[in-house]
């Protein structure tokens, strides 16, 4: 159970970073931390105590396997996470070119 709590704490660390940091790059890093806490959680769900890699072994019918589905989900989610991070970084670089700063307090054209 401890490991799930650690995973949740990692999520909160990321959330704390997103809320309190002012540098856009640091916000992007915090988002990645949150993202990886999600991936860890998914990977933990599939774990079985003493489980082997999920390749069916006909010689040993009582062998315990880990659940392969969460692993497939994590792989998909990592690919999606890569795309989102790349998109975010592209936008941040464009913002730096236009505003000349990474400080989120100075990026405030839109109001109301």
Partner 1 sequence: MMNPLIPLFVAVPLAGAFLTMILGRFITAIPRYMALAVLLFLAFISFWSLVVGGDGSSVYTLGGWEPVDGVPIGLYLVHDGFSALLLCLISLVGLLSVTYSVSYMARYTSENYFYSLFCLMIAGMNGVVLSGDIFNIYVFLEISAISSYALVAFGVEKNELEATLKYQILGVVASFMILFAIGFIYWSAKTLNIADIRTVFSAGHDNRYYLLIQLLLLTGFGLKAAMIPFHAWLPDAHSSAPSPISAMLSGVLIKAVGIYVIIRLFFNMFEVTEGMSIVITTLGALSMAVGVFLAIGQWDIKRLLAYHSISQMGYVVMSVGIGMILMARGIRSEVAALAITGGIFHMLNHAAFKGLLFLNAGAIEYSVGTRDLREMGGLAKGMPVTSATSLVASLSISGIPPFNGFFSKLIIIVAAVMGRFYFLALLAVIVSIITLASFMKFQRYAFYNIDPGKIRNDIKEVPAPMLLSMITLAVVCLLLSLLALPGLRETVLSPATDILMDQLKYSSQITGM
- Footprint of partner 1 (CB under 8 A): 11, 15, 18, 24, 27, 31, 34-35, 38, 41-42, 45, 69-70, 73, 76-77, 80, 83-84, 87-88, 91-92, 94-95, 98-99, 107-110, 112
The residue among 59 and 75 lying less far from partner 1, judged by its C-beta, is 75
Element (H, E) at 5: helix 2-20
35 versus 59: smaller Cβ distance to partner 1: 35
Q: For residue 37, with 0-12 CB atoms within 10 Å meaning exposed, 13-18 middle and 19 or more buried, which class applies? A: buried
> Token pair 């999520």 is at which residue?
11
């Amino acid at each position: 159970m401890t490991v799930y709590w650690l995973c949740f704490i990692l999520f909160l660390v990321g959330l704390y970073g997103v809320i309190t940091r002012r540098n856009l790059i640091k916000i992007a890093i915090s988002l990645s931390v949150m993202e990886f806490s999600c991936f860890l959680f998914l990977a933990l769900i599939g774990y079985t105590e003493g489980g082997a890699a999920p390749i069916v072994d006909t010689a040993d019918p009582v062998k315990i396997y880990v659940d392969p589905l969460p692993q497939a989900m994590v792989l998909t989610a990592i690919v999606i996470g890569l795309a989102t991070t790349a998109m975010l970084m592209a936008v941040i670089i464009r913002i730096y070119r236009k505003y000349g700063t990474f400080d989120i307090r100075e990026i405030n054209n839109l109001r109301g």
